[in-house]
Amino acid sequence: MTAQRNEPVLIWERVMPDDPSIPWLREQGFDVRLGKPNRDPDYRRHLEADFIADAQGCQGVLISGGIRVTREVMAALPGLQVISKIGVGVDTVDVAAASDLGIAVCNTPGGNDSVAVAEHAMTLLLALRKQLHVWTRGYLQGGGWRSPQVFAGGLDGSTLGIVGFGRIGRALAQRVAGWNVRVLVHDPLARDLPEGVRAVDMAELLAQSDAVSLHCPALPGDRPLLDAAALARLKSGAVLINTARATLVDAPALIAALDAGGLAGAAFDVFDPEPPARDDPLLAHPRVLSTPHVASWTWEGFFGRRQQAADNLAKVVRGEAGAAIVNATP
């Protein structure tokens, strides 16, 4: 079944000009409008006003994570029926406001992104322990070699603290099984923990873990989960991995903890804003390993998420069942 009235929809934050979700939606009969692609030099300067202008008259919008859809934005878009978000997290959308306004908010829980993100977190953990952020190609090209000033470490016999034990946290725990790693988790909603995984409060997790990996949603108001006080409770010599949300960690407090020497290293795949400014202190810190939000950046995952987002949008606009809707609408 195709759309009957050539309904206008907006695809915002395109990455590739040949995104297959574009012709697919057009084949379904939708009038597809295109926002600026992510590669546009002005992408970081997009304002809410740009989004509102592009989305005027649209019944559905397909977005990624670079625009915050606030109550004010939604109120300026009469006729909007659905906000289809690429990815599982919907913290960039005011879901409560959408519910009040009768707008469906969808996400893309399908696919195997949890495995990809867990693998990336595991990679960052190993890279920190093996000092790969120190022993870089540039280090060797500059004449550097191994020295007693820096020794590698390992995971054997260590304790990993996982904050947030949803699909990604569980996938990470599964991947360290067999590595002789003790796993502690903090997640008030976690049930049916795997054998060998123990639930603890946040204070115990920070005090006991040799590595902490974050896999939880952003907190209300984007307040940090790990502020200066929490970072001070980390076990001396621990490392921190964040593939979840940048706002979970107080960046200035993290840099202070790294400079003080108690925290051995940190790895980040997420930033605020994204992409980060070139002079972001995290990028220059010698104990920080950074990647450009690529934990789930696989060919299969990327196009699978976009296709599911397009399918969600189409189903809601048509009034069909089966869309992955995360909110209740009047």
Residues taking part in catalysis:
245, 274, 293
Q: Cβ of 16: how many Cβ atoms within 10 Å?
A: 13
SS3 141: helix
Burial 249-265 (b: 16+ CB within 10 A, else e): bbbebbbebbeeeebbb
- HSE, side-chain direction, 13 A CA sphere, residue 123: 15
Q: Cβ distance 36 to 64 under 8 Å?
A: no
Residues 6 or more apart from 189 whose CB is under 8 A from it? 165
Handedness of CA 297, 303, 307, 308 (dihedral sign): negative
Q: How far apart are CA 35 and CA 139, in angstroms?
A: 41
- E strand spans, 89-248: 104-106, 159-163, 182-186, 197-199, 211-214, 238-242
Q: How far apart are CA 18 and CA 22, in angstroms?
A: 8
Q: Cβ distance 205 to 211 under 8 Å?
A: no
Q: Cβ distance 212 to 161 under 8 Å?
A: yes
Amino acid at residue number 267: A
- HSE, side-chain direction, 13 A CA sphere, residue 183: 24
Please name which of 46, 91, 32, 82 lies closest in space to residue 61, comparing C-alpha atoms: 82
